[in-house]
Amino acid sequence: MKLAQWIRATSPGAAAKLEEVVAGNGVFVTTGQQAGLFTGPLYTIYKILSAVRLARALEPVLERPVAPLFWIASDDHDWEEVNHVDILDRQNVLHRIALPTPEEAPPVSMGRKLLGPEVDAVFGDFVQALPTTEFAGALLEQLRNAYRPGRSMAEAFADTLAALLAPFDVLLVDGGHPGVKAAATAIIERELERSADHEALLSEQTRRLEAAGYHAQVPILPGATNVFYEDELGRDRFYREGGAFVLRRTGRRFDGAELGSLLATHPERFSGNVVLRPVIENAVFPTVAYVGGPGEVSYYGQYRPLFEAHGIAMPVVFPRHSLLLIEGKIRKVLDRFHLEPDDFRHPTHEVAARVVREEIPDVVRDAIQELRRSIGEGYERLMAAAQGIDATLKGPLQGARNASFVQLAEAEKKIAHHLKMQNALMVDQLEKAAANLYPKGQPQERVLNIYQYLVRYGTELLPALAEAMDVRLGAPAGRSN
C-alpha cells in the first residue's frame, strides 16, 4: 500500500505502528490543524497529545495497534489566522509577533506559501521576548532551522512538530501530498457532480439542528460547492452557475468536462473545504476516531449526511483535552488573594474591585454595615411614624432611604478606589495573572504559544501534559490544571 509513502513517522516506534496499519492490522486516531507560525496556539499541541492518549487507551480495547496521525491542513489559505503568535515577554506583557501580509497577493495555501526574509526578524523578536534558560538554546535552534526563508509554512510546521513529538510516536501527513491528492480524486469528482444534492442534504441537517436549539457552525451558502481550486491565481471556491462552475473570487468559468480533465491531470489543484476534508481523510485512511476542538466536534453533527452521501462511515468524534497551565508565580497570586482561575474570565478591573472590597479593613467594613443597618431601621421607624400624618409620605421617604443606600454604596466604592490606588502592586499582580490565564479575555490555550513554557521547563513538559490528559472511554474529556 502506498500509504506508507505519504506519511511521515517521527520515530522508529511510529514507523513500526505505521507498518502494522499498512498491513491491515491497525487503525488511526486522527486529528489535524492548519500549518502556522511556530506551531500556533497551545491547542495545536493539546490536540496531538489528546490523540496520543486516546490511541493508547483504544489499543487494549480494540486489541490491535492504534496510531495517532496528525493531518497538516496545508491546503488552507487563511494567512491572517496563521501568520502570528501571541507571547508574554519577560515582564508578562502580551505581544503579537506577526509576519506581514503581502499587499494584493492572491490567497495561497500554506503548502505553497514560502517564508520570506521577514521571518528572520520575526524569529528575532520571538527570541527577545522569551527568557534565557538552559532549555532555550536547543529548542530555538531547531525552530530557527525549520522556519527559514525559502521554506513553505507547511514544511516548517511539519519539521517542528516532528522534532517535538518524536517521543510520542506520532505520524504526520501533509494534506497536500500528491499521493493524498490522487487518492481523493474520486471524492472530489463525486462532490462536484452531486454538489446541489449535497447542499440540500446539509441545508436540511442545518435546519434540523437549529430547530433543536443548536447553532450552525458552518454556513451552507446557496450555490457553493465544498471544493476549492488553486493555481497561479491563488486558491478559490467553486460555485454553481448556469450549468457551469465559477470561481468566486476570479469569476473564471469551467464546464463539467473541463473540470473532469483538470482533476485527472492536476489533482493537486483541488481540495475540500472544512466540510469535505473529514470525508476525504476517512476515505483515504483507516480511521477509528477523530480528536477535535469544540467547534470541530459541532461540525461533525452538522455534516454527518455528507459522510453518508459518499458511503463513508463517520469516525467516533472525541473532544480534545482542554488544559490550563498555572505556573508557580501565578499560583502564588491566586492563593494570596483567594482566587480561582475561572475568576479571570471576568475583566481584570472587576476582579481587582472584588479583591479590594475583601481587603477593606474590618473596622471600616463594620462601620459600613452598621451604617447600612441604621439607615434601614431609622427609615422604617420614620415611615411608621409618618403614617399618622399622611399616608402619601411613604413613597418620598422610601425614595430618600434608597438614595441614602446609593450614597453609601458610592462611599464604599470611593474607599475601595483609594485602597486600590494604595495597592498598585496588587493590581499589577492581578493583571499579570489575567495575562497568563485568560490573555485578551480568551482561554489561554487559544492565545499563548507552547514555546512560552518549553523554554522555561524543557521538553519534559510535554509528557507531563500528556499524563494530565486522563482518557476514560465513555466519559467526556475534562479540564486539567
The H or E element containing residue 468 is helix 461-468
Q: Which tens digit of pLDDT belongs to each residue from 59-115?
A: 999 999 999 999 999 999 999 999 999 999 988 899 999 999 988 789 999 999 999
Q: Which tens digit of pLDDT belongs to each residue from 256-266?
A: 899 999 999 99
- Residues sharing a CB contact under 8 Å with residue 333, sequence separation 6 or more, in sequence order: 339, 429, 430, 432, 433
- Percent of the chain past pLDDT 70, that is, above it, reads 95
Write down the pLDDT at residue 481: 46
Write down the pLDDT at residue 474: 61
Q: When comparing pLDDT for 410 and 20, which is higher?
A: 20
Q: Which tens digit of pLDDT belongs to each residue from 149-188?
A: 999 999 999 999 999 999 999 999 999 999 999 999 999 9
Contact 198, 191 (CB under 8 A): yes
Contact 59, 162 (CB under 8 A): no
Q: What is the DSSP letter of 246?
A: E
Nearest to 202 by CA among 183, 182, 223: 223
pTM of the model: 0.85
The secondary structure of 376-412 as a DSSP string is HHHHHHHHHHHTTT-GGGHHHHHHHHHHHHHHHHHHH
Identify the band that residue 270 occupies on the pLDDT scale cut at 50, 70 and 90. very high
Ranges 36-50, 139-153, 349-363: which has the least confidence: 349-363
What is the average pLDDT value for the chain, to the nearest integer? 91
Q: How many residues does the chain have?
A: 481
State the average pLDDT over residues 313-340. Answer: 94
Identify the band that residue 405 occupies on the pLDDT scale cut at 50, 70 and 90. confident
CA distance 47 to 396: 63
Identify the band that residue 228 occupies on the pLDDT scale cut at 50, 70 and 90. very high
Q: Which tens digit of pLDDT belongs to each residue from 435-473?
A: 999 999 999 999 999 999 999 999 999 999 999 998 887
Q: Which tens digit of pLDDT belongs to each residue from 417-433?
A: 776 665 777 888 999 99
